[in-house]
Amino acid sequence: MVSNTFHIGGDLGVRRLGFGAMHLPTEPASGRAMSVAVARRAVELGVTLMDTAHMYGGGANEELLAEALHPYPDGLLITTKVGVARSPESGEWRLDGRPATLRAQVEQGLRRLRVERIELLQLHRIDPETPLADQLGTLRELQTEGKIGRIGLSEVTTAELDRALEIIEVSSVQNRYNLLDREHESVLAACEAAGIAFLPWRTVAWGASGQRAEIAAVAAETGGTPTQVALAWLLGHSPVILPIPGTARIDHLEENLAAADLNLTSDQRYRLNRLSEKPDRTAGP
């Protein structure tokens, strides 16, 4: 039986199937109104984990969620990310894990989200030009000051996760991962062994036509959609996986969240698992 809940950091309980807010437009006014409606509908349907970031509109996405949901209902976790900043010279986004930048973005996130503490704060990317100890040390200081509850990482390797665990307690990892893109399988395994929440982004992706056909076949067998099959596969693949599919449409939101009720048989999982296997390139033509 697949559990629908997980305790991040061992104590912060959420429903495993969450919502990624990145795709919610903040303008024009009509788009913003729909975004507010989608965020509110997500909470109505029981979502307790929402993901945003400073990079999403330079904080505009954080402000949108606060407009839609503040005062927040009990049990709702909004996690945000810091560590990517816009260059004042070029206007392009770049990695920036300098302590002053991280502190400033956390303070801005607190203000935009209208909270006194960010219960889960994730480092959007590790900045290779700033010592890791300085980046994580700054977040640990903010945690000690009570401005951060738990610390997570995003787009890390197993080696980077191991290094981080020597400095801080890691509560979550957010890496790209889905049924057809399992590059970070070893990172997921490390998270599972340590009880660290694994928040896959880009939760749905289609490969070659044969692969899509297999997913479509399983969808037909279950009475679900290919998207629901991909999400149900994630939920059953590991108990630490907390998918955060995003959408700007209420019908897609409802479709995504219904995946929690889709049960896959062991045979269906076996067939889906084979989709990510690499072909034997040494075999004959």
Active-site residues: which are they? Answer: 56
Q: How would DSSP label each residue in 110-144?
A: HHHHT-S-EEEEEESS--TTS-HHHHHHHHHHHHH
Long-range CB pairs of 38-45, under 8 A, 24+ apart, other chains included: 38/247, 38/248, 38/249, 38/250, 38/253, 39/64, 39/65, 39/68, 39/69, 40/68, 40/69, 41/250, 41/253, 41/254, 42/253, 42/257, 43/69, 43/73, 43/76, 45/253, 45/254, 45/257
Sign of the alpha-carbon dihedral angle for 121, 127, 132, 135:
negative
Ramachandran sector of residue 91 (left: φ over 0; alpha: ψ -120 to 50; beta: rest): left
Burial of residue 158 (CB within 10 Å: 0-12, 13-18, 19+) is middle
